[in-house]
């Protein structure tokens, strides 16, 4: 289950109150939320989406950014395919542009190619089309990306990719809206805010995101 600003701010607030830094212990919720947004933007390397608007001419909502998720694990799927789970839910946009880019971890400019809905089977069964000049083709199914070949058996094996997704700017999320970050990034966000505040996180005070989510 995705985390929220409220859950992260609650954890930071408890740790800040136990610190010996007066300014940190008296922080208001809005101030913590702003710091959470700053750290998430840094971790996701967010970029403005206005360039994309100008390129396509499509009408899209305001307040969108492109967030980078790197790395994202790729696993074998069935016999000849591979798949990965989207690390966050992208905004629904014309032409499937919510999934803005998928490429290699060490070769971000070598983009994998999205397959239009309904053409996945044809592309995967035609070797000449499937090779696509050496590129890898994929189709998005719900929260999963399915490739037309098994990337894990390539030479060298591809077990991770970089994804760039279009999401709402963090400032647009209210306290209880699921944030566009993977579960394992929650602890990094908390640690980043505490670092800004000058609070050293003691070993016995480390936050376990799994435990917090189950409360």
pLDDT attached to residue 215: 45
* 84 shares a domain with 163: yes
Closest CA to 201 of 187, 210, 193, 191: 191
* 179 shares a domain with 163: no
Residue 45: band (very low, low, confident or very high) from pLDDT cuts 50, 70, 90: very high
* 114 shares a domain with 59: yes
* 24 shares a domain with 55: no
Domains held by the chain: number: 2
**Cβ-contact 161, 75 below 8 angstroms:** no
| Total-model pTM | 0.80
* 85 shares a domain with 105: yes
* 142 shares a domain with 90: yes
* 103 shares a domain with 32: no
* Structural domain harbouring 202: 5-46+171-213
Residue 126: band (very low, low, confident or very high) from pLDDT cuts 50, 70, 90: low
pLDDT at residue 204 greater than cutoff 50: no
pLDDT at residue 97 greater than cutoff 50: yes
* 134 shares a domain with 197: no
* 103 shares a domain with 41: no
Region 11-32 average pLDDT:
79
Q: Which residue has the higher pLDDT, 140 or 129?
A: 140
* 134 shares a domain with 112: yes
Distance CA 149, CA 127 (A): 10
pLDDT at residue 130 greater than cutoff 60: no
* 22 shares a domain with 35: yes
pLDDT attached to residue 148: 87
pLDDT attached to residue 93: 84
pLDDT at residue 213 greater than cutoff 80: no
**Cβ-contact 71, 148 below 8 angstroms:** no
* Mean per-residue pLDDT of the chain: 82
Residue 59: band (very low, low, confident or very high) from pLDDT cuts 50, 70, 90: low
Tokens of 41: 């933007």
Exposed / middle / buried, residue 194 (Cβ in 10 Å: 0-12, 13-18, 19+): buried
* 113 shares a domain with 72: yes
């Amino acid at each position: 289950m995705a985390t929220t600003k409220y859950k992260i701010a609650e954890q930071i607030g408890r740790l800040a109150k136990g610190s010996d830094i007066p300014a940190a212990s008296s922080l208001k919720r809005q101030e913590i939320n702003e710091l959470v947004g700053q750290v998430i933007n840094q971790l996701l390397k967010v970029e403005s989406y206005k360039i994309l608007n100008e390129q396509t001419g499509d009408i899209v909502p305001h307040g969108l950014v492109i967030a980078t998720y790197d790395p994202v694990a790729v696993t074998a799927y069935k016999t000849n395919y591979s798949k990965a789970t989207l690390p966050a839910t992208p905004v629904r946009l014309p032409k499937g542009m919510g999934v803005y880019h998928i490429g290699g971890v060490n070769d971000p400019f070598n983009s994998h190619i999205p397959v239009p809905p309904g053409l996945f089977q044809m592309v995967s069964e035609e070797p000449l089309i499937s090779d696509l000049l050496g590129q890898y083709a994929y189709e998005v199914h719900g929260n999963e990306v399915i490739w037309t070949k098994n990337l894990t058996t390539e030479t060298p094996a591809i077990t991770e990719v970089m994804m760039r997704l279009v999401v709402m700017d963090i400032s647009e999320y209210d306290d209880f809206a699921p944030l566009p970050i993977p579960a394992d990034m929650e602890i990094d966000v908390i640690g980043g805010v505490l670092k800004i505040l000058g609070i050293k996180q003691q070993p016995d005070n480390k936050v376990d995101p799994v435990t917090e989510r189950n409360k």
